[in-house]
């Protein structure tokens, strides 16, 4: 039994729902450790053909890392948490079965990074995407600086990560961040159809194809992740991070000093 996740199976398709709707499904430490355990079980389930990941409610897929947990995060913790989450998201990316992100609403920060770790992204017309970390005085730490440019190109990724601006579903479709957009009410049905189609293909061919296609994206990912983690850790030490996080929690605009 999980507190922050719901996991169900429909025939040979797994549906993992991130379940903290009152916090817009933000990724807490508890959620991370539950996700890690669940992924280990999913990995062992030989009958499974496709995994779908979505968010509970109609507002958010995942609105990022839990900002409350950022308040006291220093460099040492920042590095540790970043490495743990990179590992979990890489586990998702490298699961033998394809993973489809059904992005029902906000996919921000760590939520965008979660969607990026999936094999395919399909979203609702209500979805919004963004990497707002910079507005909190930190940088992405769950693989986003490496995966986003690979998917949508360096310039577009740079703009999203440097501005922290959100984009809507149509823009996400236009730049190739998502494959398809559906009305929210139809999203799960359409994602299920895609999952069933893939599940009907020869499982080993699907598995090998996924591995080979993933391999095409590997440059020197390990050092990219290491760099991201160190820089994320460093961003946790700044005064601007303290101010950015407090400003969000106190519902005011942050004042940044570049320190």
Find the shortest distance in angstroms from Cβ 234 to ligand CO8. 13
Task: State yes or no: residue 67 binds ligand CO8 (CB under 6 A).
Answer: yes
SS3 181: strand
Count the site residues for ligand CO8 by CB under 6 A.
23
Give the strand pairing for 106-108 and 128-130: parallel
From residue 103 to residue 142, what is the string marking binding to ligand CO8 with x (rule CB under 6 A)? ---x-xxx---------------------xx--x---xxx
Q: Using the rule CB under 6 A, which residue among 81, 97, 103, 134 binds ligand CO8?
A: 81
- Return the range that interacts with ligand CO8 (CB under 6 A); candidates 77-85, 119-127, 154-162, 180-188: 77-85
| Cβ neighbours of residue 236 closer than 8 Å, sequence gap 6 or more | 70, 73, 74, 75, 77, 78, 138
Nearer to ligand CO8, 14 or 140 (CB): 140
Task: State yes or no: residue 244 binds ligand CO8 (CB under 6 A).
Answer: no
Find the shortest distance in angstroms from Cβ 132 to ligand CO8. 4
Task: State yes or no: residue 24 binds ligand CO8 (CB under 6 A).
Answer: yes
- Ranked by CB distance to ligand CO8, the top (closest) residue is 109
Active site residue ranges: 113, 133
Find the shortest distance in angstroms from Cβ 245 to ligand CO8. 9
Return residues touching ligand CO8 (CB under 6 A): 23-24, 26, 63-68, 81-82, 85, 106, 108-110, 132-133, 136, 140-142, 232
């Amino acid at each position: 039994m999980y507190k922050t996740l719901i996991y169900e199976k429909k025939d040979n398709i797994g549906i993992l729902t991130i379940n903290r709707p009152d916090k817009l499904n933000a990724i807490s430490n508890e959620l991370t450790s539950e996700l890690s355990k669940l992924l280990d079980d999913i990995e062992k389930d030989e009958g499974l053909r496709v995994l779908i990941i979505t968010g509970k409610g109609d507002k958010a897929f995942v609105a990022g890392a839990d900002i409350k947990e950022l308040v006291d995060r220093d460099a040492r913790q920042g590095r540790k948490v970043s490495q743990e989450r990179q590992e979990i998201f890489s586990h998702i990316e490298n699961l033998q079965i394809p993973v489809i992100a059904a992005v029902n609403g906000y996919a921000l920060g760590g939520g965008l990074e979660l969607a990026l770790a999936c094999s395919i992204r399909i979203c609702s017309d209500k979805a919004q995407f963004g990497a707002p970390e910079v507005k909190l005085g930190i940088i992405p730490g769950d693989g986003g600086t490496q995966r986003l440019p690979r998917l949508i190109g360096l310039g577009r990724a740079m703009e999203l990560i440097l501005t922290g601006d959100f984009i809507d579903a149509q823009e996400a479709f236009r730049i190739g961040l998502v494959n398809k957009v559906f009305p929210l009410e139809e999203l799960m049905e359409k994602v299920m159809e895609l999952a069933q189609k893939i599940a009907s293909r020869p499982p080993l061919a699907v598995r090998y194809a996924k591995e080979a296609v993933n391999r095409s994206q590997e440059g020197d990912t390990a050092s990219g992740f290491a760099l991201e983690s160190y820089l994320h850790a460093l961003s946790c030490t700044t005064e601007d991070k303290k101010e950015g996080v407090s400003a969000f929690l106190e519902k005011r605009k942050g004042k940044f000093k570049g320190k």
